[in-house]
């Protein structure tokens, strides 16, 4: 298996633009997680899905952030409009059975909003 695949690896965008981050989980994994990593706040859970259904989105910073999982092999995280404070590394992770079994992380998307 190729692991969790995220795209793009790097994204530089101007403030106010829409940004879409993509994730392909490991085949057969029924949980998908989106995390954000910054120097100040560390790793924060934004949202997670189970069987394509959003379970907990309490970590999503505000309405500018949205996430979807239209099928078991694809998820997106969208920021509209983007702001400089959204600059971070965004990780997608997948798991079978949830957090207790450990996650497999993607390589992340480094987002820079200028």
Partner 1 sequence: AQSVTQLDSQVPVFEEAPVELRCNYSSSVSVYLFWYVQYPNQGLQLLLKYLSGSTLVKGINGFEAEFNKSQTSFHLRKPSVHISDTAEYFCAVSEVGSQGNLIFGKGTKLSVKP
The residues that touch partner 1, with contacts defined as CB under 8 A, are 4, 31, 33, 42-43, 45, 48, 50, 55-56, 91, 93, 97-100, 102-108
Count of Cβ atoms closer than 10 Å to residue 107 Cβ: 14
Q: Is the dihedral of CA 72, 77, 62, 48 positive or negative?
A: positive
- Of 38 and 80, CB closest to partner 1: 38
DSSP class of residue 59 equals T
Q: Which of 106, 111, 108 is nearest to 26 (CA)?
A: 106
- Of 35 and 65, CB closest to partner 1: 35
The minimum distance between CB 55 and partner 1, in angstroms, equals 6
- Of 33 and 65, CB closest to partner 1: 33
């Amino acid at each position: 298996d190729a692991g969790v695949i995220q795209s793009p690896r790097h994204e530089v965008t101007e403030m106010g633009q829409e940004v879409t981050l993509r994730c392909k989980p490991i085949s057969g994994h029924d949980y998908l997680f989106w995390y954000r990593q910054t120097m100040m706040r560390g790793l924060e859970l934004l949202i997670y899905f189970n069987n394509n259904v959003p379970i907990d989105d309490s970590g999503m910073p505000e309405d500018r952030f949205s996430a979807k999982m239209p099928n078991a092999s694809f998820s997106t995280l969208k920021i509209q409009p983007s702001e400089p404070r959204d600059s971070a590394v965004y990780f997608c992770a997948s798991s079978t059975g949830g957090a207790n079994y450990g996650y497999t992380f993607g390589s992340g998307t480094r987002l820079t909003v200028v």
